[in-house]
A and B are shown apart, each in its own frame.
Chain A
Amino acid sequence: QSVLTQPHSLSGTPGQRVTISCSGSNSNVGSNFVYWYRQLPGMAPQLLIYRNSERPSGVPDRFSGSKSGTSASLAINGLRSEDEADYFCATWDDSLSGGVLFGGGTSLTVL
């Protein structure tokens, strides 16, 4: 069980806006940047959002990230069939046993 909590699965229809949440605590999400990765079926993960809301070059502006307190969110506007994938959040944990943390992942289905 990951320290960062994500919904196990979500679904949406084409064109819809979906939001994936990532909940943590003061020692991780609350005090550090959050990153988001997407893993298409059978593929390696790819960086989607870094430092809460920045997009690497090549990532469409349909994807956006935000953070408030100890929770972060990834929003996908104009959902497409190719967005069907697993999405992971990641952050740093400042506790003694901390370090890099990944969320358990959210499986997004496009109906």
Chain B
Amino acid sequence: QITLKESGPTLVEPTQTLTLTCNFSGFSLRRSGAGVGWIRQPPGKALEWLSVIYWNGDRRYSPSLKSRITITKDTSNSQVVLTIANMDPVDTATYFCVHTAQYFDYLWWNPWGQGTLVTVSS
């Protein structure tokens, strides 16, 4: 059974850098085709895809956030880390860690982590 769990700060001040960690189990990022991504959902608003990193180190970013986002993986520890620089109140959202087994399919995410709410406020 694949599970993912997000962790990180619940409150971030404007201009700070957000670091979120996804700890996963039930699969390995050594497996061909596997990937872990991030999707967020502002309160009452639509979902927004942020980034993905694959077993081979290939990574992709949302065009609108590319300058602020970095995604890395620690395969041995089954972790993926997302950082977002220069946080703003509009970045307030629930951040989900997601799994894919479909290389380069940026819409196939299954399953999802439970999500973690990050509020940006001073």
Interface residues of A (CB under 8 A from B): 2, 33, 35, 37, 43-47, 50, 56, 88, 90-92, 97-100, 102-105
6 nearest A-B pairs in the assembled complex, by CB-CB distance: A100-B49, A44-B112, A102-B47, A47-B110, A35-B107, A2-B46
Tell me if B63 and A46 are in contact (CB < 8 A): no
Tell me if B46 and A45 are in contact (CB < 8 A): no
- A5 CB to closest chain B CB (Å) equals 11
Tell me if A44 and B107 are in contact (CB < 8 A): no
Residues of B within 8 A of A104 (CB): 45-46
Residues of A within 8 A of B49 (CB): 99-100, 102
Tell me if B110 and A97 are in contact (CB < 8 A): no
Q: Give chain B's interface residue range (CB within 8 Å of chain A).
A: 10 to 19
The answer for the CA separation of A50 and B109 in the assembled complex, in Å, is 10
Tell me if B107 and A92 are in contact (CB < 8 A): yes
- B101 CB to closest chain A CB (Å) equals 10
**Apart from A91-B107, A97-B64, A102-B47: 15 A-B pairs, beta carbons within 8 A:** A2-B46, A35-B108, A37-B47, A43-B114, A44-B111, A44-B113, A45-B47, A47-B110, A47-B111, A56-B110, A92-B106, A99-B49, A99-B63, A100-B62, A104-B46
Interface centre among B64, B106, B110, B115 (most CB of A within 10 A): B110
The answer for the CA separation of A2 and B63 in the assembled complex, in Å, is 16
Residues of A within 8 A of B54 (CB): none
The answer for the CA separation of A104 and B96 in the assembled complex, in Å, is 17
The answer for the CA separation of A105 and B110 in the assembled complex, in Å, is 18
Contacts of B67-122 to chain A: CB distance below 8 A: 96, 106-115
Contact (A50, B108) CB under 8 Å given A44-B114, A44-B115, A100-B62 = yes
Residues of A within 8 A of B96 (CB): 44-45
Tell me if B115 and A100 are in contact (CB < 8 A): no
B48 within 8 A of partner (CB): yes
The answer for the CA separation of A99 and B52 in the assembled complex, in Å, is 13
The answer for the CA separation of A33 and B96 in the assembled complex, in Å, is 22
